[in-house]
Amino acid sequence: MNVIVCKDKQEVAKKAYELLKDVVANKPNAVLGLATGSSPIGLYGEMIADYKAGNLSYKNVISFNLDEYVGIDKNHPESYSSFMHKELFDHIDIQEDNTHLPFGDTQADCDAYEAAMSDVSIDLQVLGIGRNGHIGFNEPGTSFDSLTHIVDLDEKTIEDNARFFDNDANLVPKKAISMGIATIMKSKRILLIATGENKAEAVAAMVNGPVTESMPASILQKHADVTVFVDEAAAANLK
Ligand X SMILES: O=P(O)(O)OC[C@H]1O[C@](O)(CO)[C@@H](O)[C@@H]1O
Catalytic residue positions, numbered? 67, 132, 134, 139
We find the least distance from the C-beta atom of residue 138 to ligand X, in angstroms, to be 9
The 83-102 contact track toward ligand X, x by CB under 6 A, reads --------------------
Nearer to ligand X, 27 or 74 (CB): 74
Question: Which 159-218 residues touch ligand X, going by CB under 6 A?
Answer: none
The 40-79 contact track toward ligand X, x by CB under 6 A, reads --------------------------xx------------
User: In this chain, which stretch among 33-41, 107-115, 181-189, 215-223 interacts with ligand X, using CB under 6 A?
Assistant: 33-41
We find the least distance from the C-beta atom of residue 4 to ligand X, in angstroms, to be 17
User: In this chain, which stretch among 84-92, 98-106, 129-137, 183-191 interacts with ligand X, using CB under 6 A?
Assistant: 129-137
Which one of residues 6, 36, 68, 148 is an interface residue with ligand X (CB under 6 A)? 36
Rounded alpha-carbon distances, angstroms, from residue 88 to 82, 92, 132, 146: 10, 7, 26, 28
Nearer to ligand X, 37 or 102 (CB): 37
Centre a 10 Å sphere on the Cβ of residue 200 and count the other Cβ atoms it contains. Answer: 19
Query: Does 38 contact ligand X by CB under 6 A?
Result: yes
Closest-CA residue to 37 (of 14, 66, 12, 11) = 66
- The site that binds ligand X (CB under 6 A) totals a number of residues, namely 11
Centre a 10 Å sphere on the Cβ of residue 7 and count the other Cβ atoms it contains. Answer: 9
Which one of residues 6, 24, 34, 35 is an interface residue with ligand X (CB under 6 A)? 35
Which one of residues 130, 133, 180, 216 is an interface residue with ligand X (CB under 6 A)? 130
Residues at the site binding ligand X, with contacts judged by CB under 6 A: 35-39, 66-67, 128, 130, 136-137
